[in-house]
């Protein structure tokens, strides 16, 4: 595993004798100890462009590859801090931050795939990632193959000499399947194909894919990393060399964040470990409550003994996050919607990973106009509810769900 200290040479976390812990990294990594204005926090630099003292300064910047501002589409000082912090948290060499999780996925795949290349997906994946590949990359001659999630033999069989990337989420959304990262990365290395894990649901607190040999880790930073339901961002972490062309491509795509947005992300990250501990605790206790409730048919949560990937999740993950999928017993879509509508504390909204608990019926929120056959193929039945536990008091969340289910 790459040392998490590599990219934070000037950070306050550096003088420690032992490798810093998660919270120390999330508070200090990537930040200069003494800042431009002597403020404790990072100043928000609102600049679309950066000036040079003279012509020689421009030439030095180009020839010596100095790290400084040039034009805002290529980066900004607030971004450098957040990128170093995220690389440190993930245990990777380099992080590239994007304006959303989808921009990060598009940015990576657009850079790495050319006409005639193939990409293999585990089929339980974020519906927009699937759509980008099957509908849009297809227009540029890229072939997408989908195999059943966690079917490693099928994945290996789908690899051809044109395969360039293996892609999966772990845990998957909304089915919470857990990918055996060692197996996944080994298949990639054996066939000389790069591997990408979207670890949005796990976060670097619960899972460290790079330590298993995965090439790229992707997050929708809109979720747990930002953590407050107030920003959109995405990030890719991986090797510096492998990401050099990806960064250049981002400069062309222009999917960059404003300094304000990056400051919000940096501020959200300060409490990352504390929030994750509560998300994990709420997720586990609420999942246990739901699993024991007579109106609940089934609960999908990797922290439950009943979960098909529980043992693997326990080996790979520190905790299991705040996302729970459950099914209301003997309920059609309307009776399921009634449960959702009776909940008082959780808010009805898409997204996950923020401090506020959110609830949604995937059929209605994301698949309402999708044909029944496709919904069945994607595993989205009418009586499925997705709950993203925030950081409220566990007791209050459980009381609220109890009255909604009993009502």
Give the footprint of ligand PLP on this chain (CB under 6 A): 100-102, 126, 169, 173, 198, 200-201, 220, 222-223, 232, 234
Phi and psi based region of residue 392 (left: phi greater than 0; alpha: psi -120 to 50; beta: remaining): beta
Nearer to ligand PLP, 208 or 257 (CB): 257
Min CB(257)–ligand PLP separation in Å: 11
Beta carbon nearer to ligand PLP, 132 or 289:
132
Give, as one character, the DSSP assignment of residue 67. Answer: -
CB of 200 to ligand PLP, least distance (A): 4
Nearest distance from C-beta of residue 317 to ligand PLP, angstroms: 15
Q: What tokens were used for 370?
A: 């999708």
Q: Do residues 389 and 286 touch, judged by C-beta distance below 8 A?
A: yes
* Shorter beta-carbon distance to ligand PLP: residue 207 or 232: 232
Query: What's the CA gap between 401 and 339, in Å, rounded?
Result: 9
| Pair of tokens at residue 172 | 């998957």
- In degrees and rounded to multiples of 5, residue 49 shows phi and psi of -145, 165
User: Smaller CB distance to ligand PLP: residue 78 or 172?
Assistant: 172
| Closest CB to ligand PLP: residue number | 101
Q: Which is nearer to ligand PLP, 200 or 282 (CB)?
A: 200
Per 3-state DSSP, what percentage of the chain is helix, strand, and coil (rounded to 5)? 40, 15, 45
**How far does the chain reach from its first CA to its final CA, in angstroms?**
50
Beta bridge partners of 63: none
- Tell me the β-bridge partners of 145: 120
Q: Residue with structure tokens 């440190």? A: 88
> Smallest distance from the beta carbon of 316 to ligand PLP, in angstroms?
17
Q: Closest distance between ligand PLP and the C-beta of residue 100, in Å?
A: 3
Closer residue to ligand PLP, CB minimum distance, 11 or 129: 129
Distance CA 207, CA 317 (A): 5
**Rounded distance between C-alpha atoms, residue 172 and residue 355, angstroms:** 21
Query: Residue 331: enclosing H or E segment and its boundaries?
Result: none
Q: How far is the CB of 175 from ligand PLP (least distance, A)?
A: 12
CB of 325: closest distance to ligand PLP in angstroms? 13
Compare residues 126 and 272 and give the one whose CB is closer to ligand PLP.
126
Is the Cα torsion angle 311, 312, 314, 319 positive or negative in sign?
negative
């Amino acid at each position: 595993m790459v040392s998490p200290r590599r990219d934070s040479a000037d950070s306050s976390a550096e003088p420690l004798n032992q490798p810093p812990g998660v919270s120390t990294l999330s508070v200090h990594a990537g930040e200069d100890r003494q800042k431009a204005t002597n403020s404790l926090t990072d100043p928000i630099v609102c600049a679309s462009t950066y000036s040079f003292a003279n012509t020689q300064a421009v030439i030095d910047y180009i020839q010596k590859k100095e790290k400084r501002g040039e034009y805002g589409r290529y980066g900004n000082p607030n971004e450098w801090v957040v990128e170093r912090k995220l690389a440190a948290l993930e245990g990777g060499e380099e992080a590239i931050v994007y304006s959303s999780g989808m921009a990060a996925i598009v940015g990576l795949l657009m850079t790495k795939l050319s006409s005639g290349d193939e990409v293999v997906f585990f089929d339980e994946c974020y519906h927009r990632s699937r759509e980008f590949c099957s509908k849009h990359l297809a227009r540029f001659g890229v072939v997408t193959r989908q195999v059943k999630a966690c079917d490693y033999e099928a994945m290996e069989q789908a690899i051809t000499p044109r395969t360039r990337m293996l892609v999966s989420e772990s845990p998957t959304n909304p089915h919470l399947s857990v990918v055996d990262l060692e197996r996944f990365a080994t298949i990639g290395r054996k066939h000389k194909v790069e591997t990408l894990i979207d670890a949005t649901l796990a976060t670097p607190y619960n899972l460290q894919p790079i330590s298993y040999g995965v090439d790229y880790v992707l997050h929708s930073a809109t979720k747990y990393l930002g953590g407050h339901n107030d920003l959109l961002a995405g990030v890719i972490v991986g090797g510096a060399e492998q990401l050099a062309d990806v960064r250049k491509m981002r400069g062309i795509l222009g999917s960059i964040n404003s300094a304000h947005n990056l400051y919000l992300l940096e501020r959200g990250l300060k409490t990352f470990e504390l929030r994750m501990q509560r998300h994990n605790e709420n997720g586990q206790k609420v999942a246990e409550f739901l699993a024991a409730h007579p109106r609940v048919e089934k609960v999908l949560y990797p922290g439950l003994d009943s979960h098909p990937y529980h043992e693997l999740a326990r080996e790979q993950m520190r905790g299991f996050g705040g996302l729970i999928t459950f099914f209301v017993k003997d309920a059609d879509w309307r009776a399921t919607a009634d449960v959702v509508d009776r909940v008082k504390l959780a808010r009805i909204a898409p997204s996950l990973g923020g401090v506020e608990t959110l609830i949604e019926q995937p059929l209605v929120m994301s698949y309402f106009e999708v044909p029944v056959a496709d919904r069945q193929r994607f595993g989205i039945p009418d009586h499925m509810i997705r709950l993203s536990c925030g950081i409220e008091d566990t007791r209050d969340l459980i009381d609220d769900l109890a009255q909604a289910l009993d009502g």
